């Protein structure tokens, strides 16, 4: 433990470079968000950028680059569980039966009954 806390971290140059990289990626996300990429590509690219940015933060700001062993194992374990959550949820939505009565514009405008169910603007249903 003490060996790790006394570990010498790199100088400010590395952090500055990572910070600038994070700012650039943020700018890229905003720029791409305005381009309205076709289909799901916008989401996919945004997620890819987010993964790169969080990797940078974890590796350098949280010092995983300098630390090994148990700390890396902990991160790897958490990633396994993130993959588990996302994987089984995506499997669910990918393998659901199509609805026998798919929602129409009329059914989408129905509001749930009960107190306080205020009418809400509803976008037109996709064809």
Partner 1 sequence: MSPSPASIPPAPADAGAPLYLERNYLNARRGPWSWLTTLDHKRIGVMYLVLTSAALFLGGLFAMLLRIELLTPGPTIMSALSYNRTFTLHGVVMIFLFMIPAIPGIFGNFFLPLMIGARDVAFPRLNLLSVYLYLAGAAIALYGMVHGGADTGWTFYTPYSTTTVTMVWPILLGAFVLGMGSIVTGLNFIVTIHTLRAPGIGFMRMPLFVWALYATSIIQVLATPVLGITLLLVAVENVFGFGIFDPARGGDPVLFQHMFWFYSHPAVYIMILPAMGAITEVLSAFARKNTFGYKAVAFSSLGIAFVGFFTWGHHLFTSGQSTVDAGIFGVLSMFVGIFTAIKIFNWTATLYRGSIAVRTPFIYVIAFLFFLLFGGMTGIALATVALDVHWQDTYFVVAHFHFIMVGGTIAGFLAALTYWWPKMFGKRYSERWGIVGATLIFLGFNFTFIPQFLLGNEGMPRRYYSYPERFWPLNVASTAGASVLALGFLVVLASLLLSLKYGKPAGPNPWGSRGYEWKTLSPPPEGNFLTQPTYPRMPHDYDDLNPGRGGH
Q: What residues line the site for partner 1 (CB under 8 A)?
A: 1, 70, 77-78, 81, 84-85, 88-89, 91-97, 103, 108, 112, 114-117, 120, 122-123
Q: Cα–Cα–Cα angle for 70, 60, 82, nearest 5°?
A: 55
Query: Could you tell me if 63 and 8 are in contact, meaning their C-beta atoms sit under 8 angstroms apart?
Result: no
Q: How far is the CB of 95 from partner 1 (least distance, A)?
A: 4
Q: How far is the CB of 97 from partner 1 (least distance, A)?
A: 7
Instruction: Give the nearer residue to partner 1 in terms of CB position, either 50 or 91.
Output: 91
Instruction: Give the nearer residue to partner 1 in terms of CB position, either 36 or 97.
Output: 97
Q: How far is the CB of 109 from partner 1 (least distance, A)?
A: 8
Instruction: Give the nearer residue to partner 1 in terms of CB position, either 36 or 120.
Output: 120
Instruction: Give the nearer residue to partner 1 in terms of CB position, either 11 or 116.
Output: 116
DSSP per-residue codes, 10-55: P-HHHHHHHHHHHHHHHHHHHHHHHH--STTHHHHHHHHHHHHHHH
Interhelix angle 12-35/41-56, nearest 10 degrees: 170
Contacts 24+ apart (CB under 8 A), 3-6: 4/67
Q: How far is the CB of 105 from partner 1 (least distance, A)?
A: 11
């Amino acid at each position: 433990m003490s060996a790790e806390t006394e570990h010498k971290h790199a100088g400010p140059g590395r952090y500055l470079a990572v910070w600038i990289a994070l700012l650039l990626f943020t700018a890229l996300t905003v720029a791409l968000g305005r381009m309205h990429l076709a289909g799901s590509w916008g989401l996919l690219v945004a997620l890819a950028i987010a993964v790169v940015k969080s990797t940078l933060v974890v590796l350098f700001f949280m010092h995983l680059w300098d630390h090994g062993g148990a700390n890396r194992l902990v991160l790897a374990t958490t990633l396994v569980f993130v993959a588990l959550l996302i994987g089984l949820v995506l499997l669910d939505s990918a393998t659901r039966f199509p609805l026998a009565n798919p929602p129409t514009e009329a059914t989408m405008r129905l509001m749930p009954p009960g107190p306080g169910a205020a009418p809400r603007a509803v976008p037109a249903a996709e064809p």
